[in-house]
Structure 1
Amino acid sequence: MLDSIIFSQNNKSLIGLSNAYLDNLGKINVFAGTNNSGKSRTLRSCFQLSQNHRIFSKKDTLSVTQNSSLIDQFIQVMNQFQRRVSGMNQNFDLISLRKAITNATPSKGISSYNSLKLLIQEYRQLANSLLLQENVPSSILEAINSIERNFPTLWDLMAATSPNKLYIPILRGLRPLETEDGKHFSSKNLYKLRTTSDYFSGDPSMFTGLSLFEEVRSHLLGDHSKRETIKQFEQFLGTELFQDQITLIPREGQDTLFVKIGNEEEKAIFNYGDGMQTLITILFPVFINRDVETAIFIEEPETHLHPSFQKKLIELLKNKMFDKVQYFITSHSPFIINDPDVKVYHFSKSEETFCFKEISNDSNRLRLMGDLGISPSDMLLSNFVLFVEGPSDKVYFEYLLKKYHNLEVRKHYNIFLMNGDNYRHLFLGDNSFDEIMQLNRNIAIVLDGDRSKKGDHYSSDKTILKKLAEENEIMCWITQKREIENYIPFDVYKEAVMTINPDRLKIKWDAGDFANRTNLYEEKKSTQVSPKVTLSGNVLSKINATKTHSLDGISDQELREAINAALIPKQEKFGVGKMNLAKKVTSMEPEFVDSELRSFLKNLAERIQKANT
């Protein structure tokens, strides 16, 4: 088990991190914070525990007290100094110094060692100032300076060894992607290839799920102990997830596992839903490595998981059979962050520097929830709950309901973030909708239309959810326009974008109802030739007049004019952060005049007001 990780100065600079180390690590360590706060960078950096870091483990025999000769020498010098300087007992507290030295051991964590270093530095500075006032030999100061210079750094003291480690990236799944001959899928691990190409070097230890078929097959064809491992994993899944006997079957000629549950007919694993596949993808490598001390790094395990499955996953990771496994996780999930047994580190960004701090109490945990756009009553304990897809939607509806109907969030209603496609797991899972109805029937749901043009159909899942909501007399609005940003008055939207991006001088604007207002293009000074060149009628007539349809008889000037007409400015794509846009737009306090939006707001406000009477 790792107790601390110390970042090299070079690696700190590379990832833009201001912290020197992670200390007091637990079994499950969660990196949480807003997007682009440094969570994933730090997770990937910690995974590369080699030249970039030193590890600090309570099982290490290494101790600061190995340098007892330097420490003893320091105390002797301070004793001499104290005897020479009368009346300084209150400043030179050797009892506190000896206590700090005793505490500076691996069992106390690296913070105590840093405290000792700082204490020695403070004593040296005090001694230096007093030497100017008292008749004290300069040899004493020289001795103190020498001790400070030679005192080992944390980097030198820490072990450079690396534990067994495994990375589970956000790109994961159980179905191969690439075909070999148009009929059969390749066993090539494309998720691992892509993740390694983007973030790592060499051949990192990584599990994406694409190798599960071959790994199960290899174990079943291996020796007795390997076959027993799969049998035990089947028993584990059967007990903890399926409540029935489970058999994993790597069929000959297939590329995905088949699963047999109890007396049911065996089915391909992809027929059991994305949530179940995600749990198996994460739990298999944990189970396989349970007998070896292993650090496992997982990117956003809540992806594709219903809230109940998120809680179940954390419960399973804490299972005693995995005592030798330690976890480092990035997450936005309140169900993971709120687990009392996880160690949470709150990441944030200040200008160009990332930093984190350990969450030590409930108030700090609530502050983190606030950063993620989550409030305690988001768990449906509210008079009325509005479900929206993302944090920027939350900003707009808070503004709109306050401006037009004097309704305040957390007072009259609360907003629950579905985080994009998670509405499927929240409402369309087994009995999910009924369970929410049992908790609170005073709800409304807002979904982005996500259409590229007027004639496009809404997604089938959104259509199903809208019908289900209407059958239960629940408001469900699927925006007719692309998304909520398309309801911002266009002049307000342009001003907000230009304020956020003052250096973008030639933005290509699209006022359409289905334009992507957060992915824009800027025209550059340089040009490129359009893939289609339109010739003038005069030039076309001359070409058609020749028997061979050649360019004979057409002057260079005419050709040059045709090509010049086809030159178009080069374009550079850039993104506008949805949250930045939402905050800027609402700070301008504009009027939203769209009749569709205002009609929904009116009906929504009436329901909220009724729920509060």
Structure 2
Amino acid sequence: MYFIEGFYIEGYRSFKSKMHKGIKVENLNNFNLFIGPNNSGKSNIMRFFMQVNRQLKKKPGRFQTKDFHKHEEKSKIFAEIDISSQGKNEKATLMVNEHKEFLHDWLSSNSLDQLFRNHIYFIGTNRDHSSTTEVNEYDFLSPSEIKGMWSLLNYDGFKTLMNGWLTDILEEEVEVHFDDDEPENIIIKIAGIPYELADLGSGVEQILQILTNLYYRDSDTIGGRNIFIEEPEVHLHPRVHVKFIELIQKDTLLKKHRYFIFSHSNALLDCIDDNWSVYWVWKDKTEGITEVTQCDQRDGTYDILDSIGVKPSQLMQSNLVIWVEGPSDRIYINKWIDLLTAEKGRRYEEGKHYSFLMYGGSLLGHYGVFDKGNKNNENDENDGIRDEEEQELVDIFSTSRYAVVVIDRDREDQDSPLKKRVEKLETAIDNRERKDRVKLWITSGREIENYISHETLSEVCMTFKKEYILYENKRVDFEEPNIKNLPAVSFSTKHSFDEYFAELFLSSELLSKYPEEKFKEVAVKKISKIFNKIFVAKRVVKKLDSNEYLSVKLKEDIKPLLSLIEKANGF
């Protein structure tokens, strides 16, 4: 058997013609997925191999002017194909010169000839069983050949295999056989009810067509082939599409091949395991040049989903997750987003454009952000220890493609060292190869409440009541809260809001009655508990009816969050 191990192509159609600037594909696997949007150049990869195949077999449809990059008359097409056979590797070099002459090096001519004559096979999108056309762009059995060759196969063995395959894929009991009166007519029994193939949906026909082609090619070769399949999702429900891929992954007869699958369906991404290589195919629209990037970590998969227009909101998930310590943070941030986007004439919806997850303060230490398969230091002897630690953590990106983590500074000023768990997360984000998908928002003040003005919090906290506390087993009664009891220094970024506004209840007369410092510490601690953060937040946001109430610092700190929401939603 002869397998393609890698290839390089330049000067063909959308592949750049400048030397060493074409597309390069390496690290091929048993299953290779080339995925990207329409008109990105995926089909050009398959089309190139098909044209080389026709060239070597001297069939019609060889290289023409339109196949040269930008249709340039004096340009060349150049390619290298890495071929493995029986433990040996060879590099075959091909060229189509300006005269459209096809040339290849003689040293690898035997491998090249064997590969394209006997070990490569194309299944395109023109899979119409009812078609009578004999024009077949792809090198697979035509509809008339399909009908004629069934009787040439080991029919009983073929029928048994096909029944099992279709039953597995369609998840219903399926039987295939010929109409006795019309041998070319195919009858499909589903759950015991007979149907003519033409009366069933196109999806069943597609599956039958592909599997018949694969079975037929298996019968005439030893070992595996290189199977190129264009858009296997055509006419298939995503679930059936996935079941078909799962079948060729596990079936003994089918999995011996090396598959090259060209698709713009996201359904296949769930099938990926260590036997897959995934390549993101995209086009630089300014130059009209195809680029191919191998995806070996989650960010690459997210790039694919973005490029083919699949958003989490289409799957009833939000496009970005904002991680917050508790529900009061959600209340404030929702209000601020509403106020700041209203001036742009937009409205972001929680649950669609973004959503919240709560990590609960110190539990933040159990979360992390990882670039799987991407070590910052390949020689780091602590990698094994780090891997074990990471396995105990929850990856923030397991819930969303884009994330913002909001953390209270819990320090009086920005120069004070952060808590270890915050520093650890900050370092992890800084070390990410793709920092553009995650933002860390560490509040400028001690807590998120420090973004609220002194006046607004004063008004809200004045609505809370505290009648008394017990101090040294004696009841100490309080008067109504009074704004005059607050410290001379206004509420600022260094204060803890609940402790600061607890002093609303501590009149000078009361403090003169209990002058010891211990009384004030005990009183502040006990009074501060009445300021339930959720109730405070709900009352505060009712007073924020325009963004004029938002501080300059808040508007500055929230900008990265708003920008990431826009990016995550494609605005």
TM-score, normalised on structure 1? 0.41
TM-score, normalised on structure 2? 0.43
Structure number with the higher helix fraction is 1
